[in-house]
Amino acid sequence: MDNQLEKVFKNFSARHDLKSEVFLQSKIMTQIMASQAKQVKLRAVASRIVGALSFIALFPIIINLFSQLQSSGFWNYFSLLFTDTGTVAIYWKELALSLVEALPIFGITLATFLLLALFVSLKFININHLSNKLEVNKKYEFKF
Amino acid sequence: MDNLDYEKMTDGELVTDYLAGQEEILPIIINRHLKPVYRFVFGLVLDESVAEDITQDVFIKVWKKIKSYNQEYNFKTWIFSIARNTVIDYWRKKKDIIFSKFDNAEGDNIILDTLADNSPDAYEAFAIAEEITDLKDILQELPPLYREVLVLRYISDLSIEEISVILKRPIETVKSQHRRGLMHLKELLLRKQEDK
């Protein structure tokens, strides 16, 4: 009975089979290419915005970071490393602790994050990346 | 690599190569599964143009989700699961399906469950089906819960195990729904004969 039923369903399926496989396939590929192009464009725009914002924000953050290093006495402790090596050798543990305490952690984290964002966005802005994506889209046209 | 070489590759190998950057493989993957997915979708929605639109959506989803595809699972059942979910989304939007028909997958019907479907009536009913010009009206009347099991079994040629993966239902439940589906189909076919 299974065979009989299979035959019935197969006949039904054949009667309503896809009229044009190539047409539907090309419709799908066109839509994929359009979505891909849109994604690339969106990514490029977002990268430019993030890149510009992080570049602008980096200057005041770095200036602020240097002034924080100045006010926390970091430079004073740091200069001891080169001027008073004898004392440094004896009290190296205390000096290391003071150096760490004087570090403006928040400012450093923020500056590192902005630098990272800038580098990542620069990677996406790369024109070659965009043209490579478009090349990939062209490839599809010859494979149907 | 030429298209013929790709034809010999398994789905898993094609997906691996595609994810490794060989983007020209995507049309091969689509081409391989286009007809089976269309047939399955058509078997559920029973409308050619809707089936084409849904099939298109299915492959866009496949393209978007392919990076998250777990290669431990069968690619075919993965695609069919996406197709089924897309059809359910379509039905939800259309709101023409009573979803309790899906929710009550375990609904007890002892009589239907215990009935064997190899009675002479069943043979007769399926013989009638061969004469019927279009099974579409009959399938339309069949609850979607059973329709999807029968379509996956007889149009998509999938095993009960594969169907249970796609429908995310236990094998025993699928077997029981398959049996009940056949019973419903038989009833509908006999009724059709009486109407004639």
> What pLDDT digit, counting tens, does each position of B44-79 carry?
999 999 999 999 999 999 999 999 998 888 899 999
* CB pair distance less than 8 Å for A28 and B60: yes
Write the pLDDT tens digit of every residue in B130-189: 555 568 888 888 898 999 999 999 888 899 999 999 999 999 999 999 999 998 888 888
> What is the overall mean pLDDT for chain A?
82
Task: Please indicate, yes or no, whether residues B104 and B191 belong to a single structural domain of this protein.
Answer: yes
Q: Mean per-residue pLDDT for B117-137?
A: 61
Q: Which two tokens stand for residue A140?
A: 């599809």
Q: Which two tokens stand for residue A130?
A: 């965009």
Task: Please indicate, yes or no, whether residues B83 and B121 belong to a single structural domain of this protein.
Answer: no
List the CATH number of the domain containing B75: 1.10.1740.10
Among B67, B94, B121, the domain-final residue is: B94
- Residue B151 DSSP one-character state: I
Which range marks the domain in which residue B83 is found? 3-94
Task: Please indicate, yes or no, whether residues B88 and B123 belong to a single structural domain of this protein.
Answer: no
Among B57, B77, B94, the domain-final residue is: B94
- Report yes or no: A6 at the B interface, CB cutoff 8 Å: yes
pLDDT at A137 over 70: no
Task: Please indicate, yes or no, whether residues B106 and B59 belong to a single structural domain of this protein.
Answer: no
Q: Write the residue in A8, A32, A140 that is nearest to B129 by C-beta.
A: A8
> How many Cβ atoms from other residues are within 10 Å of residue B22's Cβ?
16
How far is the CA of B42 from the CAs of A18, A140, B58, B73, B181, in angstroms?
9, 27, 13, 25, 18
* Widest distance between CA atoms in chain A: 98
Task: Please indicate, yes or no, whether residues B120 and B191 belong to a single structural domain of this protein.
Answer: yes
Return the residue in B2, B14, B25, B38 with the most chain A beta carbons within 10 A, the one to mutate for interface testing: B38
In terms of Cα–Cα distance, which of B25, B178, B165, B142 is closest to B81? B165
| Residue A63 confidence class, pLDDT cut points 50, 70, 90 | very high
Instruction: Judge contact between B25 and B6, C-beta under 8 A.
Output: yes
A101 or B110: which leads in pLDDT? A101
Chain A and chain B share a number of CB contacts under 8 A equal to: 97
DSSP-derived secondary structure for B44-105:
HH--HHHHHHHHHHHHHHHHHHGGG--TTS-HHHHHHHHHHHHHHHHHHHHT-S-THHHHTT
Among B94, B124, B145, the domain-final residue is: B94
Task: Please indicate, yes or no, whether residues B89 and B116 belong to a single structural domain of this protein.
Answer: no
How far is the CA of A18 from the CAs of A115, B25, B29, B49, B102, in angstroms?
53, 22, 17, 10, 27
| Residue B96 confidence class, pLDDT cut points 50, 70, 90 | low
Cβ-based burial of A80 (10 A; exposed 0-12, middle 13-18, buried ≥19): middle
- What's the pLDDT score for residue A96? 87
| Residue A57 confidence class, pLDDT cut points 50, 70, 90 | very high
Total domains in chain B come to 2
Q: Which two tokens stand for residue B55?
A: 């099939």
- What's the pLDDT score for residue B77? 93
